[in-house]
Amino acid sequence: QAEQELAGLTSESDLQNWRTQFLGRSAMVMQIFRRLPEAPQEERPGIGQFANQVKSALEEKLAEKMDAVKASALQENLSGESLDVTLPGRSPSRGRLHIQTKVTREVCHIFAEMGFQVFQSPEVESDDYNFELLNIPAHHPARDMWDTFFTTEENVVLRTHTSPGQIRSMRAFHPDPIRVVLPGMCYRYEQTDANHEIQFNQLELLVVGKDITFAHLKGTLEEFAKRMFGRDVRTRFRPSYFPFTEPSAEMDVECFVCGGKGCPACGSKGWLEICGCGLTHPVVLKNGGYDPDVYTGFAAGLGIERISMLRYRIDDIRNFWRNDVRFLEQF
Ligand code: FA5
């Protein structure tokens, strides 16, 4: 009877009812189990076994039928829906590299052509690497040059510049000569304006060898500017101070955003500072493992966003990390 009824069913809910009727608590097979103790002792195993066979045969039939019912319901659904292949497609939105990633790669590429290799160094740094080993002791007034984000862990800071990578690369390369660039994000707790952000990319340059002079530094940076902005670009060096270089300088590039007339990007100066630089301080060489009586070096820290501003004539640095897609998708 159970099998006969099952054959005629076509919906899932009918199948549920069938299950209650033939396999539920009050179904006949189940009653056999419940009333087994009433049967004579020696017949019980035979009856039990037979009831079990019936029960699993019914379960198997139900499962088969359930599959068939589901399959035909799906088939019915599919044939009921029609697909209009003439509708216009929805194009997926395309991701792209951030402009700073692109410019960083371009700058690395230029330096690679000049013989530099890329070296990676961490964004979260110890006080030692960010300051101490760069000849900036605790309580030294020069620490005020970098408004620092401290972490809850003692002596752990977000790097304020890529210069800690100088020590890391020296320790990795010693005693070989070095010619590396170190790109990466830096963080400063400072007031933002048209050319200052609280997070920005720098690219550190480090050369260590014998007889490295200021002429090498100047030549390298000027050649970089020519390759980045065109052969007629005008640059200027101004004397400056950094505890980890001696002598120190800063390099400005003529402001292409306003063509020298004055704009927010250059603070109406007509020139935009793109890097700090200098000859590596003997104390820093020593901290990196190099004998300052034998080796000399030069270093620079270039601001990638500033370079992008000049290159693409962008008059406010805050556009880069505002995450406005209308701005970002132009690059
Ligand atoms: C430094 O950070 C030194 N570590 C640079 C250096 C390296 C000197 C090696 C000597 C030897 P400074 O704070 O001036 O220096 O920053 C260097 C460059 O990073 C600036 O010229 C500018 O281009 C960029 N920069 C600095 N602060 C910001 C900021 N808040 N937002 C955007 N760019 C910045």
Ligand 1 centroid to residue 327 C-alpha, Å: 25
Give me the DSSP letters along 285-314.
HHHHT--TTT-EEEEEEEEHHHHHHHHHT-
- Output the CA–CA distances (angstroms, integers) from residue 21 to 24, 48, 68, in the order listed: 6, 20, 20
* pLDDT tens by residue, 71-103: 988 988 888 888 888 999 898 988 899 999 999
Ligand 1 centroid to residue 161 C-alpha, Å: 7
* pLDDT tens by residue, 199-226: 999 999 999 999 999 999 999 999 999 9
Ligand 1 centroid to residue 95 C-alpha, Å: 30
Ligand 1 centroid to residue 43 C-alpha, Å: 95
Q: Tell whether 246 is in a known binding site.
A: yes
Task: Report the nearest atom of ligand 1 relative to the CA of 306.
Answer: 23
Half-sphere exposure of 271 (CA within 13 A, CB side): 13
Q: Supply 46's token pair.
A: 């035979």
* pLDDT tens by residue, 5-47: 898 888 899 999 999 999 988 888 888 888 888 989 999 899 9
Q: What ipTM does the predicted assembly reach? A: 0.99
How many Å apart are CA 257 and CA 306, to the nearest integer? 11
Task: Report the nearest atom of ligand 1 relative to the CA of 300.
Answer: 9
Q: Which residues line ligand 1 (CB under 6 A)?
A: 161, 163, 188, 190, 196-197, 200, 202, 242, 245, 248, 273-278, 299-301, 303, 305-306, 317
Global confidence as pTM: 0.76
